Amino acid sequence: MNNEKLRYGLIGAGSNAERKHLNNYMTLPNVELVAICDVNIENAQRLAKKYNIPKVYGNYEEMLNNEELDLVSVCTPNYLHAEISTYALLKGVHVHCEKPLAVDAKQAQKIVDAKNLSGKKVMVGLNNRFTNEAVFLKKYIDVGYLGDIYQVKAGWIRRSGIPGRGTWFTNKDCAGGGVMIDLGVHYLDLALYLIGMPEPSYVTGAIHQNFSHTTTRNRNGYKGDPNGIFNVEDTAVGFIGFQNGATVNFEFSWASNIEQDKTFVEILGTKGGVSLINGEVRIQSEILDTCVDIAPVLNPNIKLKNEFEHFVQCILSGEELIAPAEHGVYMMNIIDHFYKAAYKKKPVTFENSNDNILLFSSPFREIK
């Protein structure tokens, strides 16, 4: 990596922006913190003071017009991702956009179109692709140790994990959806990324809203507004069939009556299987006509891939991104079709389907 400095701006000054983006970009020698923006300018001022960021703005357009930036992070509510990312790209700025890339595939495609027009890069904040476990599994699967992959299971289930009733997370207009948009993007994306993102054929599934009436199942630190809007699903289950014959079962929930929280990806092939359950990798194989289970020991002191360093390196060197904008469109297309299937209560195919998810009204009443 060369000694060029990238002038960096942060759009959105929430906890995720600080914990992930600021705390990582500030450590990179090729990045200079220049400006921060948030509609709540007090939040922006607080972080600017804490991290010694010179310029503070309450409007992203003003920041992008006034500052000569090379790179911005977009850490805002989902419905603003396309608007802000597109504006930044057309200003000649590289974009690191938090997941999901947009609230639907059409909005996500607008970002890709702006990227292509500008010649700049867009990376989606799919941080689970960058864990040591994911890096190992991707290499293991790509070598061919699993043979032909035919079945996948993926999920993220919380016992008490609603991200704040009445916040933008539970407002369909702001988030685009509920747990499927929030948690589903993470682990369904990881599963599909590991198996090479095959072409989907059809999807079916269901969504439920079981805990919108209570504040007792909120995630720690997300108290929210008891009188706020909750018109999204808190549970999503589904099944995807792919053109190569593989299938994926998935389950995501903010709140379920289970013993403990669980994240999982299980991938089965004709030669072997792998699983990633609560961060632990296991390999299922056969040696000398005997079934064996292998528990790889990954060095926790070595970070194989760093999401933020990777993006900077790709900007400076022209390398290919691990999580490009096109992958965000792929994922949102699947999620759009899942919602259509759930709302219609029947399977939906991906062939010649130009329906927009926004044409379908939410099956849930707006609870305040």
Phi-psi region for residue 166, left (φ > 0), alpha (ψ -120 to 50) or beta?
left
Is the domain of 292 the same as that of 344?
Answer: yes
Is the domain of 170 the same as that of 221?
Answer: yes
Structure tokens belonging to residue 292: 């064996």
The total domain count for the chain is 2
pLDDT, tens digit, 9 for 90 and up, residues 123-166: 999 999 999 999 999 999 999 999 999 999 999 999 999 998 88
Is residue 1 included in any domain, yes or no?
A: no
Is the domain of 277 the same as that of 156?
Answer: yes
Strand, helix or coil at 294?
strand
Q: Specify the pLDDT at position 217.
A: 83
pLDDT, tens digit, 9 for 90 and up, residues 327-343: 999 999 999 999 999 99
Q: Specify the pLDDT at position 360.
A: 46
- Report CA Rg, the chain: 21
Q: What is the 3-state secondary structure (H, E, C) of 107-166?
A: HHHHHHHHHHHHCCCEEEECHHHHCHHHHHHHHHHHHCCCCCEEEEEEEEECCCCECCCC
Is the domain of 44 the same as that of 121?
Answer: yes
Is the domain of 246 the same as that of 145?
Answer: yes
Is the domain of 96 the same as that of 165?
Answer: no
Indicate which CATH number applies to the domain containing 265. 3.30.360.10
**Partners of 280 in the β-ladder:** 277
Q: Specify the pLDDT at position 221.
A: 60
List, for the chain, all residue ranges whose pLDDT scores fall below the cut of 70. Answer: 1, 220-223, 352-368
CA angle 49, 50, 56 (to 5 degrees): 40
Is the domain of 239 the same as that of 314?
Answer: no
Q: Can you give the residue range of the structural domain that contains 82?
A: 6-127+308-323
Cβ atoms within 10 A of the Cβ of 308, count?
A: 22
Q: Specify the pLDDT at position 213.
A: 82
Q: Specify the pLDDT at position 21.
A: 98
Is residue 366 included in any domain, yes or no?
A: no
Residue type, 100: P
